[in-house]
Amino acid sequence: MRQIDHFIVGDSPAPTRKHQVWNPSTGEVQAEVGLGDAALLEQVVATAQRVQPAWAATNPQKRARVMFKFKELIEANMQSLAELLSSEHGKVIDDAKGDVQRGLEVIEYACGIPQVLKGEYTQGAGPGIDVYSMRQPLGIGAGITPFNFPAMIPMWMFGMAIAAGNAFILKPSERDPSVPVRLAELFVEAGAPEGLLQVVHGDKEMVDAILDHPAISAVSFVGSSDIAHYVYKRGVAAGKRIQAMGGAKNHGIVMPDADLDQVVNDLAGAAFGSAGERCMALPVVVPVGEDTAERLKEKLIPAIHALNIGVSNDPDAHYGPVVTPEHKARVEGWIDTAEKEGAEIVVDGRGFTLQGHEKGFFVGPTLIDHVTPKMESYQEEIFGPVLQIVRAHDFEDAVRLPSDHQYGNGVAIFTRNGHAAREFASRVNVGMVGINVPIPVPVSYHSFGGWKRSGFGDIDQYGTEGLKFWTKLKKVTQRWPDGGGDGSNAFVIPTMG
């Protein structure tokens, strides 16, 4: 059986514990990954401490050249990366390529690090006094990433962190760990010093070791909200800078004037693409008015029945299996819960099997109507190919539903009315808003982050916010006396008057 090792400098100690890596399409175990511990982390941190100062002293232009070469290598290896990703995650090849591509876009932004690192300068802020600022690296950063985007989210983190001059330790999900290791191999091939980017595998034991280690200055996390809150509290208590992105329950508001054919097409991808295993999926649709709800439902049913579920390498499949047998059971359990709560199961994906792949972890597309805000299945994240319909009486109701929800990651509104869209975007209590855009993930030169229980910490991912997270701002106030001294008191703070 294939063994997946850490990507570190020096020999890895023999693991005492291992985790199985499934092939979700066949339901078979395809590999094992060894889980590290605090002792392994000590070895990794020591390496990072040794290589980081020289990297920080490397001028930004030379760092950018490594990023440019890494970008070229990612593009050259796109197909093989997508195939490797699909084999462990289950998402179809085109979706896997999108995973890699969205991470690559942050690497492209990091290629411009000489420009974005520039500080500010004021000449003559006071008599003979100039003031300037500079952004400097923190030292060692770490990323703890989820299974659903094993390429994109690691690149979101380490691209900005390393370009800014830090060393980086990545702990990816043990469910699909191979792509993060491959990315690290390509990064060294691009010219990065060995030990600058290291990959360690592990579970809670490794997470706690990272959060507690005094030499790690900042940790970025993406995962479920309960764990995100835990990471935030423990990391902050240890004196670290923390950004912890949690779960989501994104809503799609459908106004009566919306183009329903376009809405249905958008929902098919946003709700069911990648088997719904996206924090920016659109699992709740909110038609405004009963007439809108009925017209939308009538169009959704045949569109959902037309979806093709297949193995991850099937070019005709719209989506593939979920990641593990436990996750399949969890998703189907939420459908059971919705039914018990009184919701109407319009299209039922429970018990779905794919001919020839009966052991695969497939869940059929599911549509649930007459869901209410009090239902637990509405309040919690399902993270599967399940679309719930929550009917809104009017526009005010549509604004209130996502605003009152415990999660505040993303929301979308579908309408032809510019005033309604502007009013909604201004008032809704959610971090990322799409207007006729079903998955409003900002481009790489903006930033990504949700509100409420979708995000803990004050600084978002990537873009200028990412640069702020992975650097500290040093402010310098300088004066160059013209010689001889003027009799001023050197122990008095100079004023700018």
The predicted-structure confidence for 320-356, as pLDDT tens digits, reads as follows 999 999 999 999 999 999 999 999 999 999 999 999 9
Residue 492 located in a structural domain: no
- In 10 A of CB 268, how many CB atoms? 20
Same domain, 25 and 74: yes
Q: Taking a C-beta distance cutoff of 8 angstroms, is the pair 423, 406 a contact? A: no
Same domain, 412 and 460: no
What value does the mean pLDDT of the chain take?
96
Residue 13: pLDDT over 90: no
Q: Taking a C-beta distance cutoff of 8 angstroms, is the pair 328, 24 a contact? A: no
Q: What string of DSSP letters covers 371-426? A: --TT-HHHHS---SSEEEE--BSSHHHHHHHHHHSSEESEEEEE-S-HHHHHHHHH
Predicted confidence band at 14 (pLDDT cuts at 50, 70, 90)? confident
Residue 333 located in a structural domain: yes
List CB contacts of 144: < 8 A, sequence separation 6 or more: 171, 207, 210, 219, 220, 221, 222, 223, 231
Residue 411: pLDDT over 80: yes
Same domain, 151 and 84: yes
Q: What is the pTM of this model?
A: 0.94
**Angle at 90 (CA atoms; ends 85, 93), nearest 5 degrees:** 60
Same domain, 423 and 355: yes
Euclidean distance between CA atoms 15 and 11, whole angstroms: 12
Same domain, 151 and 130: yes
Q: What is the residue range of 147's domain?
A: 2-246+454-476
Domain count of the fold of the chain:
2
Q: Which two tokens stand for residue 496?
A: 């700018």
SS3 label, residue 126: strand
- CATH code, domain with 187: 3.40.605.10
**Angle at 367 (CA atoms; ends 301, 415), nearest 5 degrees:** 70
Residue 494 located in a structural domain: no
- Pick the catalytic residue: 200, 279, 293, 354? 279
Residue 489: pLDDT over 70: no
Question: Which own/partner pairs from 397-400 qualify as long-range (CB within 8 Å, at least 24 positions apart)?
Answer: 397/288, 398/253, 398/255, 398/286, 398/288, 398/424, 399/424, 399/427, 399/428
Residue 342 located in a structural domain: yes
Predicted confidence band at 311 (pLDDT cuts at 50, 70, 90)? very high
For CA atoms 478, 482, 484, 486, give the dihedral sign.
negative
Same domain, 101 and 48: yes
Q: What string of DSSP letters covers 267-330? A: HHHHHHGGGG--TT---EEEEBSHHHHHHHHHHHHHHHHT--B--TT-TT-SB---S-HHHHHH
Reported as a single tens digit per residue, the pLDDT across 366-382 is 999 999 999 999 999 99
Residue 445 located in a structural domain: no
Which residue in this structure is represented by tokens 């592990």? 202
Same domain, 255 and 232: no
Residue 23 located in a structural domain: yes
Predicted confidence band at 482 (pLDDT cuts at 50, 70, 90)? confident
Same domain, 222 and 290: no
H or E, element range at 331: helix 325-340
Reported as a single tens digit per residue, the pLDDT across 315-330 is 999 999 999 999 999 9
Which residue in this structure is represented by tokens 């939420």? 334
Average pLDDT over residues 438-447: 94
| Of 321, 308, 314, nearest in space to 83 by CA | 314
Sheet containing strand 471-479, strands side by side = 121-126, 129-137, 471-479
Reported as a single tens digit per residue, the pLDDT across 255-264 is 999 999 999 9
Residue 142 located in a structural domain: yes
Residue 448 located in a structural domain: no
Q: Which two tokens stand for residue 238?
A: 């240890």
Same domain, 422 and 373: yes
SS3 label, residue 473: strand
Q: Taking a C-beta distance cutoff of 8 angstroms, is the pair 470, 240 a contact? A: no
pLDDT on residue 481: 86
Q: Taking a C-beta distance cutoff of 8 angstroms, is the pair 450, 435 a contact? A: no
pLDDT on residue 3: 95
Same domain, 225 and 313: no
- CATH code, domain with 265: 3.40.309.10
Same domain, 163 and 98: yes
Q: What does the chain come to in residues?
A: 497
Reported as a single tens digit per residue, the pLDDT across 211-237 is 999 999 999 999 999 999 999 999 999
pLDDT on residue 12: 83
Same domain, 421 and 349: yes
Catalytic residue list contains 111: no
Q: Tell me phi and psi for residue 378, to 5 degrees.
A: -85, -35
